């Protein structure tokens, strides 16, 4: 489990092809690896990767064919910059929102505007995830926990403050850049609970009940 608060930025320093999947090495001199061990999880541009190799300033992880099919890792080249976050501890401060590290879709930057010191970034909204994107709701973009500030029929807007831009890969975004999107997991569970077409649907859990209890 992650929170979407980026700890460091790294770069892909090695890519090894193994049949239909990859082994990649990500290097970072700013991420603290002293408490990382084999088998730990590190979110890399929002994708939960398992550490299979470790050195003082880098880690290696396998990227399965499944992950390659749903993310941009198959298009990444040596030197690709990625946002990094180690899995949270039970004692950690919860600074962002609940992030699983499972990408729901890929979005494209369609417009970037400077407004004061902030960046207004407009992203395309794939139809499959549109119903989960809500005004003032949370969304994860390349592993970064962000707030949705506007929603249109096929796009949404994020306001990026200078600190976030400086500490993540946001400063490298340009029109046409593709990014990983993970929607708020709470929205997914609410959808499941209110889906009366599911045979496993528990009786009595309805939209009216959730609204009455303050969930909607």
CA angle 122, 216, 121 (to 5 degrees): 10
pLDDT per residue over 80-128, tens digit each?
999 999 999 877 778 889 899 999 999 999 999 999 999 999 999 999 9
Q: Which residues pair with 183 in a beta bridge?
A: 139
User: How many Å apart are CA 50 and CA 35, to the nearest integer?
Assistant: 14
pLDDT per residue over 41-54, tens digit each?
999 999 999 999 99
pLDDT per residue over 30-79, tens digit each?
999 999 999 999 999 999 999 999 999 999 999 999 999 999 999 999 99
Domains of the chain: 8-86 (2.40.30.20), 105-189 (2.40.30.20)
Q: Is 65 helix (H, G, I), strand (E, B) or coil?
A: helix
Evaluated on CA atoms 170, 94, 11, 104, the torsion sign reads negative
User: How many Å apart are CA 63 and CA 74, to the nearest integer?
Assistant: 9
Strands 58-63 and 21-27: antiparallel
User: How many Å apart are CA 215 and CA 198, to the nearest integer?
Assistant: 20
The answer for residues whose C-beta is within 8 angstroms of residue 40's C-beta and 6 or more apart is 50, 51, 86, 87
């Amino acid at each position: 489990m992650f929170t979407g608060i980026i700890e460091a930025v790294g770069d892909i320093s090695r890519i090894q092809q193994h049949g239909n999947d990859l082994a990649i090495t990500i290097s970072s001199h700013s991420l603290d690896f002293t408490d990382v061990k084999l088998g730990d999880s590190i979110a890399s541009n929002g994708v939960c990767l398992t550490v299979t190799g470790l050195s003082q300033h880098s880690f290696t992880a396998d990227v399965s064919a499944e992950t390659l099919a749903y993310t941009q890792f198959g298009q990444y080249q040596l030197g690709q910059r990625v946002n990094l976050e180690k899995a949270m501890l039970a004692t950690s401060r919860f600074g962002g929102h609940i992030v699983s590290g499972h990408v729901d879709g890929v979005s494209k930057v369609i417009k970037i505007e400077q407004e004061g010191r902030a960046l207004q970034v407009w992203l395309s909204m794939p139809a499959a995830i549109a119903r989960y994107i809500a005004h003032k709701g949370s969304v994860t973009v390349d592993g970064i926990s962000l707030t949705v500030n506007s929603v249109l029929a096929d796009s949404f807007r994020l306001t990026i403050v200078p600190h976030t831009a400086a500490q993540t890969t946001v400063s490298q975004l340009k029109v046409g850049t593709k990014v990983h999107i993970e929607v708020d997991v709470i929205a997914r569970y609410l959808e499941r609970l209110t889906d009366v077409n599911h045979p496993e649907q528990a009786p009595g859990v309805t939209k009216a009940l959730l609204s009455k209890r303050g969930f909607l």
